[in-house]
Amino acid sequence: MAKSWKKYLLWFAQEHIEFRNAEIESLLSLFKIEMRYAQKPQSKEPFWIVEFSSEGDAQLLTSRSVSLRNCMELWGHEKSVDLLHNSLRKKCEIFAPYFSPNKSFKIEVETYCKHFTQQEKVNKLETFNYLPIEGQVRLNNPDTCLQYIEYYGIIPNDPPELPHDVFFGKCVAYGLRQLMKKLSLKTRKFIGNTSMDPQLSLLMANQAKVKNGDIILDPFVGSGSLLVAAAEFGGYVFGSDIDYLMLHGKTKPSRIRQQKRASDESVRANMQQYNLEHKYLDVLINDFAMVFWRDSFEFDAIITDPPYGIRESTEKVGTEKPNYTVSEEHLATHIPAKIEYGIPSIYKDLIIFASKHLKVGGRLVCWFPVLRDDYTVNCLPKHPCLKLLANSEQPLSKVTSRRLLTYEKTKHPSVDELSLEGVTIQDFREKYFLLREETRKEKRHKEAAIRKENWDKYIKNKQNCAE
């Protein structure tokens, strides 16, 4: 039987725009949903016009996305309000089943990038009085929720008089926007200086295609933000980190008014807070640079944000002393020394680890810091067993950004592919501090030049007054 395709409007939140496509493509792959573009999406516009063969597919995709605000079955789309009304009047009989006397309804009015008062929105709503609606209005949980959207472009300071596009249809699902409030760092029990924003954590879990029953690892777990997101989508979560004090809640509090940490602050406490403790496997203190897991152990996904060496240190167990040994007498109480664990080594170890310990088809989702002027695709970590599927940028400053990379394992590695001899990865930290020092010198020279210029003006004015 041929599929019956219908048009739908995917309406996005206008933030983290570059991450949209990667999230939606990952969810389509996760749920094996077929979606077609009815109109080529523009990168900065907050909507896509697409086609699904069933309403269930549209609902499933939207209800898992954190980028989407809602999805609407598109009954009308025109370039002007008059054209929309003319089009809808011709289709009234098609909409009749949704407007029977025993079905409640409501109509939501949204104007994008141009403000209207509530009364003006009500007046817009009244222009749809020709629809064959017979049921009662119910604002909470109606049988049918209709939506009318006027789109005035993306320049809020200078909106046009008339909308660029107008849309009307039936809302079929809302996105997971409310989940970001639930997982807010403001109310979370245990956080650190680099705890990941809930929206980005959830985006990473979606790009990793986390589903119920998956086993997920974050090898640089910190305060466990990524574990919370993965567990929220049904994953069983493992974490590891070399920072003993962080994992035991002994570091300085990150909240300004908090004098000291509570005795029960931990990753487990966060999981308990969100009723996710049944998804929590454990958090282990270990050095990622050392072999820890059994060779045969595999994860469904690895989601992580390795340290960059800027706000947090990059360390591994080791010593620069030659031929250093610990006597058996002191071994029981010995605390291992640490040395710098450079960014090139971290990412080389990470992609080798992923090639070895991911299931075939499993995903590695990680952040990679770059200097924006130096960035090229060639500077990204590579491995013959990992296919790069997504690469999205989050600017951090004028000169720095980080890329969210999504890899999928395509095969098991050979012996040679577990060493990656000769592979080079740029050292972001070294270049960052060199650039920052150069910027500071330029600033000092500029300030000195301004002071000299002001002093010369002062002396000249003084001489003129003396004459």
**Weakest mean pLDDT among 180-184, 249-253, 311-315, 447-451:** 447-451
- Shared domain for 159 and 217, answered yes or no, is no
Residue at a domain's end among 426, 446, 461: 426
User: What pLDDT sits at residue 3?
Assistant: 73
Residues 6+ apart with CB under 8 A from 382: 351, 388, 423
Residues 6+ apart with CB under 8 A from 130: 85, 88, 89, 92
- Shared domain for 102 and 244, answered yes or no, is no
User: What pLDDT sits at residue 100?
Assistant: 85
Q: Does 65 reside within a domain?
A: yes
| Res. 445: pLDDT tops 70 | no
More confident residue, 411 or 450: 411
Task: Pick left, alpha or beta for residue 234 (phi over 0 → left; psi -120 to 50 → alpha; otherwise beta).
Answer: left
- Shared domain for 20 and 114, answered yes or no, is yes
pLDDT in tens, 170-229: 999 999 999 999 999 999 999 998 899 999 999 999 999 999 999 999 999 999 999 999
Distance (Å, whole) CA 31 – CA 9? 19
Whole-number Cα distances in Å, 380 to 65, 124, 216, 406: 27, 51, 23, 11
- Shared domain for 153 and 195, answered yes or no, is no
Q: Does 438 reside within a domain?
A: no
- Shared domain for 170 and 244, answered yes or no, is no
- The answer to whether the beta carbons of residues 240 and 221 sit under 8 Å apart is yes
- Shared domain for 208 and 93, answered yes or no, is no
**Weakest mean pLDDT among 159-163, 186-190, 444-448:** 444-448
- Shared domain for 169 and 193, answered yes or no, is no
- Shared domain for 409 and 272, answered yes or no, is yes
- Shared domain for 212 and 138, answered yes or no, is no
Q: What CATH number does the domain containing 228 carry?
A: 3.40.50.150
User: What pLDDT sits at residue 437?
Assistant: 63
Q: Does 420 reside within a domain?
A: yes
User: What pLDDT sits at residue 174?
Assistant: 96
Whole-number Cα distances in Å, 306 to 87, 183, 243, 370: 53, 21, 13, 13
Average pLDDT taken over every residue of the chain: 89
Domain that holds residue 406: 181-426
Q: Any idea what DSSP says for residue 99?
A: G
Q: Does 449 reside within a domain?
A: no
- The answer to whether the beta carbons of residues 417 and 354 sit under 8 Å apart is no
As for how many domains the chain has, the answer is 2
SS3 call for 138: coil
More confident residue, 196 or 327: 196
Q: Does 448 reside within a domain?
A: no
- Shared domain for 157 and 229, answered yes or no, is no
Q: Does 441 reside within a domain?
A: no
- Shared domain for 210 and 86, answered yes or no, is no
What is the pTM for the complete model shown? 0.89
Q: Does 443 reside within a domain?
A: no
SS3 call for 125: helix
Whole-number Cα distances in Å, 195 to 221, 228, 290, 337, 433: 9, 11, 25, 26, 23
- The answer to whether the beta carbons of residues 150 and 108 sit under 8 Å apart is no
**Weakest mean pLDDT among 137-141, 233-237, 268-272, 332-336:** 332-336
- Shared domain for 162 and 185, answered yes or no, is no
Q: Does 27 reside within a domain?
A: yes
